[in-house]
Amino acid sequence: MALGKGRPAAVYSLGDISSPIAALALAAAGLWLVVGLAVGLAVAAPAAGPVPSPALPEPAAKTPERPAREFHLPRSFKGNLPITELSEEEATLHALDRLAFGPSPGDVQRIEKMGLAKWIDRQLDPASIDDSVLERRLGDLTTLQMPSSELLSRFEFPQAQAKREGISLEELQAERRQKVRQQIADLRASGRFNPARAGLIRVDGTPQEILAQLSMAKMLRAIYSRRQLQERLDDFWFNHFNVYARKGVDLWYLPSYERNVIRPHAMGKFEDLLEATARSPAMLFFLDNWLSVDPGAFALHREEVIARRRQAMMMGGCEFLGPFANPVRVLRCQQRMARQQQRRQPARPAAKKNVERGLNENYGRELMELHTIGVHYTQADVIAMAKVFTGWTIRQPRRDPAFAFDASFHTPGPKRVLGYKIHAGGIKDGEQMLHNLAGDPRTAHFICFELARHFVMDQPPEPLVDRMAKEFLKSRGDIRRVMRTMIYSPEFWSRQAYRAKVKTPFDLVVSAVRATGADVRIALPLAQWVGRMGEPLYLCEPPNGYPDTAQNWVSTGALLDRMNFAIALGTDHMPGTDVDLAQLFSPGATGNARQALQEAFAAVLDNQVTAGTRNTLEKRLADPQILEAKLDDPVRHVNEGLILGLVLGSPEFQRH
Amino acid sequence: MTITRRVFLKNTGIAIFGMTAMPMFLRNAMAASTGTGKRVMVVLFQRGAVDGLNVVVPYAERNYYSMRPTIAIPRPGQGGGDGARGAAIDLDGFFGLHPNLAPIEPLYRQGLLAVVHATGSPDPSRSHFDAQDYMEAGTPGVKSTVDGWLNRALQQEREPRPSTLRAIAASPNLPLTLRGQAPAIAVPDLRQFKFFGSPRLVETNFEAMYANTVDKVMRGVGQETFEAVNTLGKLDPQKYQPANGAVYPSSHFGHGLREIAQLIKADVGMEAAFLDSGGWDHHVNEGAVQGRMGNLLTDLGHGLSAFASDLGPRIENVVFVSMSEFGRTAHENGNRGTDHGHGNYMFVMGGAVKGGKVYGRWPGLAPEQLNQDRDLKVTTDYRTVLGEILRSHMGIADFSTVFPDFIADRPSNFLNLIRS
């Protein structure tokens, strides 16, 4: 594989039954019974298709070797976009593939009418685009808008609930499973069971509902938002500043993190985004900085606390009565306190261990390596960086989490990090550091490299990255202007970049649903498919986020799942998602398999199909499964869904 | 003449399991054969940098206890409130296993499990991602390597018609360790490794489409996929019954080991298997006997123990090895966790292993003995361990491409932990 080197594949939680999404994915297996029945019923004769002829000589439909041809597209279409290597149709598709999540029915025509340059301008200014259709679809997902404090009070920690009910966590989970089974059985019995809802029933009222709603919202936004570039950048930045939903309390913080930290800054200033993540309870918790304190400061603090406690001891814990209280009341109170103290005693030795606290290097390191400059630091930098951010913590982490700076835990004095001298004092140490990092040329290069790798190709040309980095520095990290620089570069529109990226599982599922113009009522099963292909949403455990290059996503297991997904969606067996074949195919296609195939190529691949795929499928159009006879109808109908599924699973559709 | 245990075992089939044997188990073990005898190497990557000092505990080191006031594992027999279960399990008078690894203690006693301590990569990086890449590529410090050490090792063995299933990762995506020229596939879940619905038409169409595409990457992966589906489709993972009453934990790790055992027993031609486990990065509240790391070790212990008994006599052909990108600081940090360190431990398990011993030179934990004043030193390059397994167990002679610039094939370097 002529591919660059990226991160090792992150493999987490697919087999983890405790993960709701994964558990739900297992439930999705049940769906296959349905598919099996539906498709299998049509099997009449075993007439095996001919063995495919070995590698036909390909008419160069689209190969890198094809001689460069220069296109002169009209100004009205391309404006100042430097497009010379792509045709008008190719440029349109390329824009929809990279700056959006692939074309939806009508998108290509809309761009051709409006002009590509104008469409891009509008995408770069998302506020100018009405997105009320999406807002309506998100209406049911009530947790999205809740502040963390509300989520924390509404969705009790399972451990706390078990304790309150006086049972063990396992018993609580067993009870819950039993209740869900009963509920589904009841629905089945009354004929009102909808398989698409099974996953929702399982998480209903539990903290996992937060994750389910987040995942559904992510799917719906990518599929239906008209502000497509905004959604692409949200996805990119969340992944860049990744937070893992299953680390402790972070699940409760995530809706607010995405809503208030990532989304508002996705096309804003990088420095604002960086600072928002640094102050977010989600990141402070995920990378442990909320616990990082200066060891010296902590010892000092502990002495103060001990002194205060000692003083309190003299009053026996009854100082709240005031210095002039009735001595009898004080005595009674002291006796009461002593009794309580005695009762508490057994727990104390364990509690004593909790007092030692100190520096934590986790955030300091990842702030440099992953968020800003890349791997250009020493261990001394990591320690100094951790000191800069001591005292950056979370106020009321389990009730009403908010950023707080606790000066008493901050390391005093000047620090040297990455050649910067930090001597602002207090919270200003960290603020100054973030400002320095955001404007560092290494950060500009690192961020622009990641953007170019995501939007252009796995190994982006260095001149392109340099040009973007220059704009990054000039505009003080204005993401919109950097994106504009990238889009207005010839590299973005090069033949080499065209259909060069392999779709991530998320890209694949979203683009397939968009291509079919399907109506998604319950997006959870789609999200589960994304997880099954190796990209469970919000569940990337390492802080570096999911990888962004082909070799991480092209593998046997994942490819099989991609094909299975394609057939499930095409044959309209995706719970919660309706594919309207009557809308997608013309009436004439029902009786004409060749025509149906043509229409599927047009709808899914915009006719960017290679001869290999075309020949393969055309050869098998007479198969009885494609031309199926129904029991009550002697006329044979074309199984359009199957054709659609096959085209959705084609090699061409794996790239964009 | 010395009868090696290997020969002994081949003849009796059950000798090593005598200690824990049950009647049913005995019968099964007698009935089972060692199959086609293909040698297999199973690699576990513990992602996130496992704290090796709390897995294989140097309990005789005084410094260990002073450096870890809240997370140390008590000396054997000093388990406090938890009694014997709350203390390290003595291995050799110096090292002890974390108590939650009790299920694999018998494997150590029977000589199937060896430990290498103070091992790791010579590269000083404390970045998870760089260090994982370096370790998986087998070229510490070199960023440009695009394939993995195990894949390059498989390229050494030239078979007339190599099986597509020679190398399998029990994960959705192929890890760097297995990426490269030699065929290797990712199988996240055997039960779902098939075309659903009506396979015939769908499969033939997809197979032909991928065989005929000009997209080389897709064509290659497609071909591997269809070959794998054809073979693995014949297995019936739903009905798979682990042998000898083995019960795998219901975790990602347990599931992966169970499938690897099934593949080994199915004789599909697998020579290398890979799985990984995550969640080892404990900067905060690592716990000691109980706690987050303790829970993960329970999973590890039960998984390995089930794997060994499930394999039965076939363990003769298998060597399992574990690794992690680096170790953790010898001192605990201010949050009752540990930060990124350097030296670590490795487990090596299998019939060919000279187990029951902790290998490697122990560098000590006194302040002047630490790496950069904070971590366990690396005294055994992890490639020495892998190299010996590759050479002595897998029969790979030429290391010039497997571990370039690292002379692992000089027998004097080897720890001599594998019977050849």
A501-532 pLDDT, tens digit per residue, is 999 999 999 999 999 999 999 999 999 999 98
pLDDT mean over A248-271 = 97
Domain count, chain B: 1
C-alpha A558/C-alpha B187 separation (Å) is 8
CB atoms B69 and A369 under 8 Å: no
What 3-state DSSP class applies to B26?
helix
Please give the pLDDT value at position A17: 37
Please give the pLDDT value at position A22: 43
- With CA atoms as reference, report the closest residue to B64 among B56, B78, B53, B55: B53
CB atoms A610 and B193 under 8 Å: no
Q: 């999404």: which residue's tokens?
A: A21
CA distance B23 to chain A (A): 33
Largest CA distance in chain B: 69
Structure tokens belonging to residue B132: 């994982």
For A117-163, the pLDDT digits (tens) are 999 999 999 999 999 999 999 999 999 999 999 999 999 998 888 88
Please give the pLDDT value at position A484: 98
Please give the pLDDT value at position B406: 86
Instruction: Report whether B89 contacts B97 (CB < 8 A).
Output: yes
Q: What percent of chain A has pLDDT over 70?
A: 81
Query: In which domain, by residue range, is B83 found?
Result: 5-413
Name the residue facing B187 among A7, A557, A567 (closest C-beta).
A557
Instruction: With a cut of 50, say whether residue A91 has pLDDT above it.
Output: yes
Side chain identity, residue A144:
L
Domain presence at residue B419: no
| Residue of chain A whose alpha carbon sits nearest to that of B203 | A563
Please give the pLDDT value at position A385: 97
Q: How many whole angstroms from its chain centre is CA A519?
A: 21
CA angle B30, B35, B39 (to 5 degrees): 125
Please give the pLDDT value at position A260: 98
Pairing type for strands B113-120 and B358-359 reads parallel
* Chain A residues touching B273 at Cβ < 8 A: none
Instruction: With a cut of 70, say whether residue B131 has pLDDT above it.
Output: yes
Domain presence at residue B418: no
How many beta-carbon pairs under 8 angstroms link A with B?
273
Instruction: Report whether B341 contacts B375 (CB < 8 A).
Output: yes
- DSSP conformational letter for B47: T
Structure tokens belonging to residue A178: 């039993």
Sign, Cα dihedral of A537, A539, A540, A543? positive
CA angle A411, A417, A423 (to 5 degrees): 50
* Chain A residues touching B192 at Cβ < 8 A: 29, 532, 561
C-alpha A554/C-alpha A560 separation (Å) is 10
CB atoms A46 and B175 under 8 Å: no
Instruction: Name which of B43, B143, B145, B201 to mutate to probe chain A: the one with the most chain A Cβ atoms within 10 A of its Cβ.
Output: B201
- Highest mean pLDDT: which range of A344-358, A606-620, A628-642, B342-356: B342-356
Lowest mean pLDDT among A545-549, A594-598, B181-185: B181-185
For A204-220, the pLDDT digits (tens) are 999 999 999 999 999 99
C-alpha B413/C-alpha B68 separation (Å) is 33
- With CA atoms as reference, report the closest residue to A286 among A335, A253, A333, A319: A253
Name the residue facing B175 among A4, A8, A43 (closest C-beta).
A8
Domain presence at residue B237: yes
Check if the interface score ipTM surpasses 0.90: no
Instruction: Report whether A17 contacts A27 (CB < 8 A).
Output: no
C-alpha A533/C-alpha A566 separation (Å) is 12
Please give the pLDDT value at position A312: 62
CA distance B77 to chain A (A): 20
- Number of residues in chain A: 656
* Chain A residues touching B284 at Cβ < 8 A: 288, 291, 360
Instruction: Report whether A268 contacts A479 (CB < 8 A).
Output: yes
C-alpha A606/C-alpha B264 separation (Å) is 45
Instruction: With a cut of 60, say whether residue A40 has pLDDT above it.
Output: no
Q: What do you get for the CA distance between the two ends of chain B, in Å?
A: 17
For B347-368, the pLDDT digits (tens) are 999 999 999 999 999 999 999 9
CB atoms A642 and B188 under 8 Å: no
Please give the pLDDT value at position A324: 64
Instruction: Report whether B151 contacts B184 (CB < 8 A).
Output: yes
What 3-state DSSP class applies to A427?
helix
Sign, Cα dihedral of A172, A176, A178, A179? positive
| Residue of chain B whose alpha carbon sits nearest to that of A59 | B214
* Chain B residues touching A4 at Cβ < 8 A: 146
| Residue of chain B whose alpha carbon sits nearest to that of A615 | B209
CB atoms A555 and B127 under 8 Å: no
| Residue of chain B whose alpha carbon sits nearest to that of A613 | B209
- With CA atoms as reference, report the closest residue to B273 among B228, B318, B232: B318
Dihedrals φ, ψ of B5, to 5°? -65, -25
Instruction: Name which of B66, B198, B216 to mutate to probe chain A: the one with the most chain A Cβ atoms within 10 A of its Cβ.
Output: B198
Residues 217-256 of B with CB under 8 A from A: 217-222, 224-225, 228-229, 250-252, 255-256
> What's the whole-model pTM score?
0.80
Lowest mean pLDDT among A575-579, A633-637, B49-53, B254-258: A633-637
